[in-house]
């Protein structure tokens, strides 16, 4: 596997190294040894899939509050998505910045998203399927999100939004002071 760092610390793109022949190709999509060598999770506890029928569908931006340590590895298994990672970690040098990566089934690339970084995507082709691996179990009481078009983040989406869940559409404006206070209160004692 090949890894490409992004402008957000801890967020990286994982690329396939294909062994091609007349049959097609064979490639490793995940390896505990290679992920561990980069300091990334080598143990996943949950896997989920998202099927998106229509181009322009938008999901996110979702994250889990501490003490969840949910990291994600996101790969587009069919179709393509404009994938966003938004840094919501107050101590990070890229706090409130985002990166965009196009995930395409034909490329087989994936995006690693560490804890504290929100994730969302817009579907670029109808009938798209996205696979997630998660390092921590989903905790509904810690699940939250920020609005896809919140002016605090300035995210440019490539297409008009055709389908979006009410909860994703209706998140309130980002409250910086409240966010920082809740993250500080949830931090382990040694980080305070």
Choose, from 25, 43, 62, 179, the residue flagged as catalytic.
62
Q: 62 an active-site residue?
A: yes
Contacts of residue 190, Cβ cutoff 8 Å, sequence gap at least 6: none
Residue 132 known to be catalytic: yes
Report residue 61 CA to chain centroid gap.
8
What b/e readout covers 63-79, taking b as 16+ CB neighbours within 10 angstroms? Answer: bbbbebebbbbbbbebb
Distance (Å, whole) CA 102 – CA 9: 18
Residue 90 CA to its chain's centroid (Å): 18
Strand partners, 46: 134
Catalytic residue among 43, 51, 119, 132: 132
Report CA-CA distances (Å) from 132 to 7, 87, 119, 191: 22, 19, 11, 29
* Cα 22 from Cα 44, distance rounded (Å): 33
**Catalytic site residues?**
62, 132
């Amino acid at each position: 596997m090949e890894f490409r760092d992004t402008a957000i610390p801890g967020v990286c793109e994982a690329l396939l190294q294909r062994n091609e022949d007349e049959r097609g190709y064979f490639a490793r999509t995940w390896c505990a040894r290679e992920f561990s060598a980069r300091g990334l999770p080598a143990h996943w506890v949950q896997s989920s899939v998202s099927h998106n029928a229509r181009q322009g569908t938008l999901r996110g931006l979702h994250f889990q509050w501490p003490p969840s340590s949910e990291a994600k590895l996101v790969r587009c298994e069919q179709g393509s998505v404009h994938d966003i990672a938004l840094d919501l970690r107050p101590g990070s040098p890229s706090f409130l910045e985002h990166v965009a990566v196009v995930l395409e089934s034909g490329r087989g690339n994936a995006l690693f998203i560490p804890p504290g970084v929100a994730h969302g995507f817009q579907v670029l082709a109808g009938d798209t399927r996205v696979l997630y691996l998660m390092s921590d179990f989903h905790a509904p009481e810690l699940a939250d999100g920020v609005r896809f078009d919140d002016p605090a983040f300035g995210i440019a989406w490539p297409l008009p939004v055709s389908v979006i869940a009410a909860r994703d559409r209706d998140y309130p404006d980002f409250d910086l002071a409240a966010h920082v206070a809740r993250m500080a209160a949830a931090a382990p004692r040694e980080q305070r």
